[in-house]
A and B are shown apart, each in its own frame.
Chain A
Amino acid sequence: MTQTIGGAAARLSRRKFMVASAAAGGGLALSFHLPFGADPVAAQGAAVGTEVNAWVVIKPDDSCVIRIARSEMGQGTLTGLAQLVAEELQCDWSKVTTESITAGQNLARQRVWGDMSTGGSRGIRGSQDYVRRGGAVARLMLMQAAANEWGVPVGELAVSDGVITHAASNRSTSYGKVAAAAAKLTAPDPKSIVLKDPKDWKIAGKPMKRLDTADKLNGSKVYAIDVRLPGMLNAAIKDCPVFGGKLKSYDESRITGLPGVRRVVKVKDSAVAVVADTWWRAKTALDALPIVWEEGENAKVSSATIAEHLKDGLTASATNGDRQNGDAPGTIAGAAKKVEAVYSTPFLAHACMEVMNATVRLSADRAEVWVASQNAEASLAALSEASGLPLAKCEVYRHDLGGGFGRRGGLQDYVHQAVAIAKEFPGTPIKLIWSREEDQAHDFYRPISQCRLAGGLDADGNLVGLQVRVSGQSINATLNPGGIVGGKDRRQLQGMWAEPGDAQFGYSVPNLLIEYAMRNTHVPVGPWRGVNTNQNGVYIECFMDELARAAGKDPLAFRRALMTKHPKHLAVLNAAAEKGDWGKPLPAGVHRGIAQFMGYGSYSAAVAEVSVSPQGKVKVHRMVLALDCGHVVNPGQVAAQVEGSVAYGLSATLYGECPVKDGRMTSLNFDSYELLRLAEMPKVETVIVPSHDFWGGVGEPTICVVAPAVLNAIYAATGKPVRSLPLKNVRLV
């Protein structure tokens, strides 16, 4: 979720545009030239509306179309961004619709819509300033047009719900009537505008209904997997099941003559695809195709060998990044009481409900892709690189995603594959769909890691020393080698950083040493909703409960004593504890656990109520989550994200693991890669901690407190700490 394309739009020169994309191996820069004097792309829907500026199109009936650059994958960003534009536009919210811009349009207009990348919980916080200014600029232009028409100073006008009034002359008009004149005016400098104080918001900050629900209720929404184009063929693919292996040979004669089959295509050096008239026929033929793989040395790798490799990193002398104050090892060695533990978390697949897919049509001078993408500009870069056509001859038709969670960001591996296949069929659209098994076998997994912790308590049970060693795989090593500076990879210590603002460690420990030892494997890894806060949250927060128990202290009180210098962390912890009835009686057999952590610029805490049956079966009854994300654009959607994060986090806690055997993944469908279902969903209560002095993320921050709160409740129930996930592999009684 960290790939970036280019820099700030404002710094881009007009005719030269650099794309540095993780899609291009994490460092390759593509440069290209826009056609000299390129005209702005004609606005979509211009025939029925007037583009006042890049963000706002007004129709004669006063309806407003708000342009959206970020991707919508369920997280509600589309509605939130529209609220922010509409707030400053001061239009009638009931007349707002949205439209998605394309990467090609953004490129042709010198990235007037800014960054299209949607990850790292940045969709709102990363664009709130310029989209609000976009709405404000449009409002000022519309009001100026009315002032010009009436020959009065604009300062005498008022506007509400898209109706402009001049009280002195008792005149009124509407946005729809003045839009054409407004569009001809010179836009004021966005930077000169004073934005509304969020306290005065009327549209933003309110629990508006989502704008994108209707077509999700009747089957009419067209996801990328649903695209149908004239003459389209379908492709099914198998990549070498052992990561890093190659395609050796296949026997096409065995499937010749099967219904609908057109051709077998070798895709790069590691995959083979069957192209047929329908996908089911392509998949059936692919399953019947004898394939020989050259699996290579990686076929010897298993979960056990990976675990040994990581174990080495727990004690290795060389590390890849650390932070420290005082002398943690010395303090712990001399402490009145010493606590030690080793934790581990597995590889996890994203398992988006919509499997990876892309539809590509190539001709000699045009490349197009229809795709679900968290970064349409990365899709554009991938399309250009794979097709060999310049970016200006490429276009991305981005569809809302059937799940993203970090899987559909910078890499765009499926776009590369679809282009490779489409090259064999010039002019014919090729829709590549992965089977669920392929999706599970070729993800960019949540990195596997282990963590060794040691803590020292003084005679009064105060934590005087803490040592943390994370050993595991690096996302940057797979996706963004440039992010590893001087051998240091701080990203893997997310949530344990010293500096405030993004993912700050919430505890002050007088003697602290936190280290990362990079131990990479042949399995590709990537960002997975919440990324490294998930694993690190488990390690720190579960160990905190082990320390509290050793100190004979209540887990909440033990934490509070370490958090006096972190008031925002503490406020959120307290809010969760209060709403979660910490310390109050519970039904027999039900126990509570608590956790707090920080990521994506927001503070999270959770209280879980859990019971463990005599057979060791875990039931999570209730979870209270507190979140301080600063400004809240849509409290209803914040609650929805928190609820969803509980489900995502609980799937990982209870079931999630991707074991490796003979160099390949073995959990290839939902029968073995189990996911949370409705019956297991606890009652979730969301507490939004009011705070209005920063912009934090929402989609990811709360996941990382779900697992530790549940594990700590289990610890309270059984008296035994759970130090490895998932729970399905742990004997609790």
Chain B
Amino acid sequence: MAKLNINAAIRDVEVEADTPLLWVIREQVGLTGTKYGCGVAQCGACSVHLNDEVARSCAIRVGDVKEIDRIVTIEGLSATSSHPVQKAWAALDVPQCGYCQSGQIMAAAALLRKTPQPTDADIDEVMTNICRCGTYQRVRAAVHLAARDISRT
């Protein structure tokens, strides 16, 4: 039994302590926007925010997450897809197949929270999520676009 704070709601889940947070989010909680890609923290498709930091949920034991830890998934990033990152992604038609984009968006949102005006080098360092469709050029442009949006508000 675990109590999780996901998207500002407390969820009680019945699950073994060594279950990866990713699979608890997907299977017990039923939020499927967070994706399975590799299971070994390589690809970032499972990225969520854990206490405002980006985290690869496939590599976090649910037993290591406390009730006070705040988890935000792609579904909780904004109520109406209005986060500057989501708006920039839409403006530049970033997604192709879209499967990795939840993770890309969560990684970008965490980057901009810490570094509102990132350089290309900052983006290179943080945006390590794998996109097999190869949307990287637009991901980079959209992070910069979102940063401009943030700087105006």
Judge if B39 is at the interface, Cβ distance under 8 Å. Answer: yes
Residue of A nearest to B14 (CB): A259
Chief secondary structure at chain B's binding surface = loop
- Which listed segment binds A: B63-71, B124-132, B144-152? B124-132
Are the C-beta atoms of B132 and A678 separated by less than 8 Å? no
Contact A436-B38, Cβ < 8 Å, known A219-B73, A280-B23, A640-B96: yes
Are the C-beta atoms of B39 and A219 separated by less than 8 Å? no
Judge if B118 is at the interface, Cβ distance under 8 Å. Answer: no
Contact A435-B39, Cβ < 8 Å, known A218-B75, A676-B134, A677-B130: yes
* Most A Cβ at <10 Å: residue of B35, B96, B105: B96
CB distance from B105 to the nearest CB of A (A): 7
Contact A353-B138, Cβ < 8 Å, known A219-B75, A678-B124: no
Docked complex Cα distance between A640 and B141 (Å): 13
Residue of A nearest to B19 (CB): A280
Residues of B close to A223: CB separation below 8 A: 32, 35, 99
Residues of B close to A149: CB separation below 8 A: none
Are the C-beta atoms of B138 and A352 separated by less than 8 Å? no
- Which listed segment binds B: A328-336, A496-504, A667-675? A667-675
Are the C-beta atoms of A679 and B128 separated by less than 8 Å? yes
Docked complex Cα distance between A220 and B76 (Å): 11
Residue of A nearest to B22 (CB): A280
Judge if B102 is at the interface, Cβ distance under 8 Å. Answer: yes
Q: Mark A194-230, 1 if CB is under 8 A from B, else 0.
A: 0000000000000001101110111111110110100
Which of these, A216, A218, A355, A670, contacts B130 with CB under 8 Å?
A670
Q: Mark A677-704, 1 if CB is under 8 A from B, else 0.
A: 1110101100000000000000000000
Which of these, A74, A355, A637, A645, contacts B97 with CB under 8 Å?
A74
Are the C-beta atoms of A74 and B133 separated by less than 8 Å? yes
Which of these, A75, A213, A403, contacts B132 with CB under 8 Å?
A403
Docked complex Cα distance between A644 and B26 (Å): 28
CB distance from B115 to the nearest CB of A (A): 15
Are the C-beta atoms of A353 and B75 separated by less than 8 Å? no
In this complex, the interface size class of chain B, counting residues with CB under 8 Å from chain A, is 35 or more
Are the C-beta atoms of A76 and B38 separated by less than 8 Å? no
Judge if A646 is at the interface, Cβ distance under 8 Å. Answer: yes
Judge if B59 is at the interface, Cβ distance under 8 Å. Answer: no
Docked complex Cα distance between A688 and B131 (Å): 24
Judge if B3 is at the interface, Cβ distance under 8 Å. Answer: no
Residues of B close to A228: CB separation below 8 A: 30, 32
Are the C-beta atoms of A401 and B97 separated by less than 8 Å? yes
Judge if B81 is at the interface, Cβ distance under 8 Å. Answer: yes
Q: Mark B44-80, 1 if CB is under 8 A from A, else 0.
A: 0100000000000000000000000000011101100
Contact A217-B86, Cβ < 8 Å, known A402-B97, A640-B138, A669-B40: yes
Docked complex Cα distance between A168 and B57 (Å): 66
Are the C-beta atoms of B97 and A403 separated by less than 8 Å? yes
Docked complex Cα distance between A670 and B131 (Å): 12
Contact A353-B99, Cβ < 8 Å, known A219-B31, A646-B134: yes
Residues of A close to B124: CB separation below 8 A: 678-679
Q: Mark A210-254, 1 if CB is under 8 A from B, else 0.
A: 101110111111110110100000100000000000000000000
Are the C-beta atoms of B138 and A213 separated by less than 8 Å? no
CB distance from A54 to the nearest CB of B (A): 26
Residues of B close to A351: CB separation below 8 A: 132
Are the C-beta atoms of B140 and A218 separated by less than 8 Å? no
CB distance from B15 to the nearest CB of A (A): 8
Beta-carbon contacts under 8 Å, A387-434 to B: 400-405, 433
Judge if A636 is at the interface, Cβ distance under 8 Å. Answer: yes
Which of these, B75, B105, B140, contacts A681 with CB under 8 Å?
B140
Are the C-beta atoms of A675 and B132 separated by less than 8 Å? yes
Contact A209-B93, Cβ < 8 Å, known A280-B23, A436-B39: yes
Q: Count the A residues whose beta carbon is within 8 Å of the partner chain — how many?
A: 61
Which of these, A234, A644, A671, contacts B96 with CB under 8 Å?
A644
Judge if A278 is at the interface, Cβ distance under 8 Å. Answer: yes
Residues of A close to B105: CB separation below 8 A: 217
Docked complex Cα distance between A560 and B113 (Å): 52
Residues of A close to B140: CB separation below 8 A: 678, 681
Q: Mark B6-45, 1 if CB is under 8 A from A, else 0.
A: 0000000000100110010011101111111111101101
Contact A278-B136, Cβ < 8 Å, known A353-B35, A354-B99: no
Residue of B nearest to A433 (CB): B36
Are the C-beta atoms of A353 and B40 separated by less than 8 Å? no
Judge if A648 is at the interface, Cβ distance under 8 Å. Answer: yes
Docked complex Cα distance between A683 and B141 (Å): 11
Are the C-beta atoms of A353 and B134 separated by less than 8 Å? no
Judge if A643 is at the interface, Cβ distance under 8 Å. Answer: yes
CB distance from A218 to the nearest CB of B (A): 5
Contact A213-B97, Cβ < 8 Å, known A278-B28, A670-B42, A681-B140: no
Residues of A close to B4: CB separation below 8 A: none
Are the C-beta atoms of B77 and A647 separated by less than 8 Å? no
Judge if B139 is at the interface, Cβ distance under 8 Å. Answer: yes
Contact A353-B100, Cβ < 8 Å, known A217-B95, A219-B31, A647-B131: yes
Which of these, A259, A646, A676, contacts B16 with CB under 8 Å?
A259
Docked complex Cα distance between A679 and B135 (Å): 12
Which of these, A209, A644, A671, contacts B133 with CB under 8 Å?
A644
Residues of A close to B133: CB separation below 8 A: 74, 403, 644, 647
Docked complex Cα distance between A681 and B98 (Å): 18
Residues of B close to A675: CB separation below 8 A: 130, 132
Which of these, A225, A281, A352, contacts B36 with CB under 8 Å?
A225
28 contacting pairs across A/B (C-beta < 8 A)? A74-B95, A74-B98, A75-B96, A213-B93, A213-B95, A214-B90, A218-B81, A219-B32, A220-B33, A221-B33, A221-B98, A223-B32, A278-B28, A279-B23, A280-B20, A280-B23, A280-B27, A354-B99, A403-B99, A403-B132, A436-B38, A643-B136, A645-B134, A670-B43, A677-B136, A678-B124, A683-B137, A684-B137
Please give 20 more A-B residue pairs, beta carbons under 8 A apart, in addition to A279-B27, A402-B35: A76-B96, A209-B93, A213-B94, A213-B95, A218-B33, A219-B31, A353-B130, A355-B37, A403-B133, A436-B38, A640-B93, A643-B137, A647-B132, A647-B134, A669-B39, A669-B40, A670-B42, A677-B127, A679-B127, A683-B137
The 9 lowest CB-CB distance pairs between A and B, nearest first, are A219-B33, A647-B134, A74-B97, A74-B96, A402-B99, A216-B98, A644-B134, A679-B124, A219-B74
Chain A residues with CB under 8 Å of chain B are 73-76, 209-210, 212-214, 216-223, 225-226, 228, 234, 259, 278-281, 284, 351-355, 400-405, 433, 435-436, 636-637, 640, 643-648, 669-671, 675-679, 681, 683-684
